[in-house]
Amino acid sequence: MGTIRDHTGTVSSSIVLVKLGADIHRSGTLFATYRVILRQGKSYIVLSGYAGLRRYLTAPVYGVGNPKVIKMGIGQVAAKAALKSGAVLTLILSPAVRTLEWLFTDELKTMEAMLAHIATDIAKGLIAAGAAYFTAGVVPAALTALGFSVVAVIPVFAGIGVAIGAGLALNWVDNSLGLTEKLTDALIQHKESWARTMEENKRNIEQVQREASYYFGTARGNLDFIRRLRGSGVGSVGW
């Protein structure tokens, strides 16, 4: 389950890389390049190689938002789509997998520990996805804006590598500094503080209820209530 949680996004990106590499290779070379050009205010991706030999990217030019180039991970728009899908996977998989772990494999883990792990999983996943987006989307976009051509498979490959490296580094930092454990302790302390506050409020309410029942529900209580009012000076005039 941990493997599913940590590497599903990487596996999906690797599948895209394999498909892109296979299709690009058909047009002449695995290291076929692309560049971005502007025509009438619109951006287009121009692929090198023989387009007719490819099975999927069969045109030499595509709009940057074309579903084919997005699906194959080419360009900054495709990198944004990968960032979004990676974030969604993290938001879905981490709570689901952590809950299954809690229910079936680690019954001694507290609810606070599970919530802390989910929070750190999401934070680490989003940071790794952001680093991958910068590598696979922002850097190639900057290069193409300067007029350079970019090898089509390299940004996807580099994004996968950065995502894996960032994930491992973040896990190491988490384990070294005990961030998840500290968050767990903070949640437990907050829960205990909340429980104490609620218990104190409950006692105060019960005390008020007992006093109200005594002062307004019994003859002796009525007399005591009147004495208290007179002793405090409230309504003493005319008594």
pLDDT tens profile 94-149: 888 888 877 776 655 678 888 888 899 889 888 998 999 999 999 999 999 888 99
* Domain span including residue 212: 190-231
Residue 16 lies in a domain: yes
What are the tokens at 2?
A: 């941990």
Q: Are 70 and 87 in contact (CB under 8 A)?
A: no
Integer Cα distance of 28 and 60 in angstroms: 13
Residue 64 lies in a domain: yes
pLDDT tens track for 13-37? 888 889 899 988 888 888 889 999 9
- Does residue 197 share a domain with residue 85? no
Tell me the residue type at 167: G
Does 221 lie in the same domain as 129? no
Structure pTM?
Answer: 0.73
What is the Cβ-side half-sphere exposure of residue 226, based on CA atoms within 13 angstroms? Answer: 7
Q: Are residues 132 and 200 in the same domain?
A: no
